[in-house]
Structures are given as C-alpha cells and as structure tokens.
Structure 1
Amino acid sequence: MDSQDDPVPAVRYLAVTFDCPDPAELARFYSAALGLPVTRSTDGFALVGREGSPGLGFYRVDGYQRPTWPDPSVPKQAHLDLSVDDLDAAQDRLVALGAVAADTQPMPGRRRVLLDPAGHPFCITL
C-alpha cells in the first residue's frame, strides 16, 4: 500500500497539564502570572493560554499530594522555567499572586525556585 494513501493523523501540542486539588485556583494564578487568559474551565479541568496556541492545563486529582521538593518523598512531577528581566521584582509579583519562595535556592543570583499555590516548583530565571 502506498504511504500517500494512509492519512497521517494530526497531532498538535496542546498543553503541559499539572495535577492539582483546585484547577480554577491554579488557572487564576498562572493566568495572572503570565498575562494569559483562561480559555477553558470546568470543575475538573482548566486551561490557560491563547486560542490556537499551546497552554497550561490543570487537572483535578482527588487525594492530590503537594510535591515536597527537594525532599524526594513526594517528587516534583514537572516544573516550568519562566524567563524574567528582574528576579526580585518578578518574585515579589508572583508571591503577591499566591506563590511562595522555596526554602532551597540552589542559584539565587540567577534563578529562583518558587512554589505555585498547589505546591508545584517552578523557576524564574534571568
């Protein structure tokens, strides 16, 4: 059979999705942090991004346990790296939105580790 006869299914990158206890809360945080709209929201799922572009998804998981990074007892499942121009100003803004600074800061002059409202570590980097 000719490969041209076999249609190739379209596969598009939609989102990186994080497990969490409250998708709406996490979507509000990342929407405000990144200046992106919430494009989809149900009781169990929310998506932040621009229509037609990849985004960030948040999926409700009953019994969700916050990552305990750097303690490996509940490992981080993934993390975001966000580029910033000013570490201190960006950290202050994100903390005001609901993030907290992680106790462990491996490279505080170049990168800061913060925890989102559901406990996922993410980095802001110069």
Structure 2
Amino acid sequence: MALVKAGVVVLDCAEPEKLAGFYKEFLEGEETDATANRVEIRGADGMRMAFRRDMNATPPSWPRPENALQAHLDFVVDDLDEAERRVVGLGGRPLETKDASGPFEERGYADPAGHSFTLRRVTPTAPKTG
C-alpha cells in the first residue's frame, strides 16, 4: 500500500476563487473543495489543482530573470489555436517565447495571476520499421 495517495499542484495567489475559476473552465473541471483561503479543483482528465490565498504573492516574471520561474505547468492539447483562444478568452495572456526544437510544438502563456504555463502539442511521429 502506497504511503502517498495523491498529489495536488498548489499555486499561491491573492484571489484563489478567481484563479480557480480560470483553471476550472480551461480544464473543463469542477470545484471539489473550498475554504476561506484555499480552493481545489479537478479537471475533466482527473488533474487536481489547488489555489491558496497569499496576499503577498508575487507573480513570476518569466521569461525575464527578475523574479524567476517559480513553477511551471505543461498542458498537452490536440489543437494549439483552439486552446489559445480558450486561454485568452478566460483572461490568460501569451508570453513571448522562442520556438522550441524537438518533437513538440508549444506556446507559453500566463494565467490571470501571472503563473506561467505551456500548451504543448505532440507532433505525431511515424512508427519505426525494421
């Protein structure tokens, strides 16, 4: 029997209700728990996130070095353009990023509280033969 049952990504922010709403809509999820200082959601795919009130939270400044990255989330999507429209429509904003090399297409964004995340589409590869 595992000692740890599950993990939850927790983001500090000044307004947890508002940030939870952004991710709840983006992940097509539901709110699972809420207190005065913490809101937890579960996305449609089962991903769990929580948002903890910290009135002194400072948003990361990525890609600028002044306030480092702090944390970074990656979301795999089928359609980058559709996912971008949803993010921007919910109050997120694109971040200036360079094209990444490798088997992924990705775009960087910030949520309404300034936390950075990436939308990533896996480029299909042909199966190996021989």
User: Hey, what's the Cα distance between the residues in 1 that align with 2:98 and 2:10?
Assistant: 26
- Structure 2 SS opposite 1:72: coil
- The equivalent position to 1:93 in structure 2, one of 78, 86, 89, is 86
- TM-score normalised to structure 1 length: 0.83
Alignment of 1:47-62 (within 5 A): 47-49=40-42, 55-62=48-55
- Structure 2 SS opposite 1:110: strand
Detail structure 1 runs of 4+ shifted over 6 Å in the superposition. Answer: none
- TM-score normalised to structure 2 length: 0.81
**TM superposition shift of 1:9:** 7.9
Letter in 2 for 1:27: A
User: Hey, what's the Cα distance between the residues in 2 that align with 1:12 and 1:106?
Assistant: 38
Alignment of 1:35-46 (within 5 A): 35-46=28-39
Segments of 5+ residues of structure 2 without an aligned counterpart are 122-130
**TM superposition shift of 1:124:** 0.3
**TM superposition shift of 1:54:** 5.3
Which protein has the bigger helix share? 1
* Contact 1:23–1:43, Cα closer than 8 Å, also in 2: no
Structure-2 change in CA distance of 1:33 and 1:9 (3 Å): closer
* Contact 1:100–1:116, Cα closer than 8 Å, also in 2: yes
Segments of 5+ residues of structure 1 without an aligned counterpart are 1-7
Q: Does 1:64 align with 2:51?
A: no
* Contact 1:13–1:54, Cα closer than 8 Å, also in 2: no
Q: Structure 1 vs Structure 2: percent identity of aligned residues?
A: 34
Structure showing greater radius of gyration is 1
User: Hey, what's the Cα distance between the residues in 2 that align with 1:80 and 1:118?
Assistant: 14
**Alpha carbon RMSD of aligned pairs, Å?**
2.0
User: Hey, what's the Cα distance between the residues in 2 that align with 1:54 and 1:11?
Assistant: 16
- The equivalent position to 1:112 in structure 2, one of 97, 107, 115, is 107
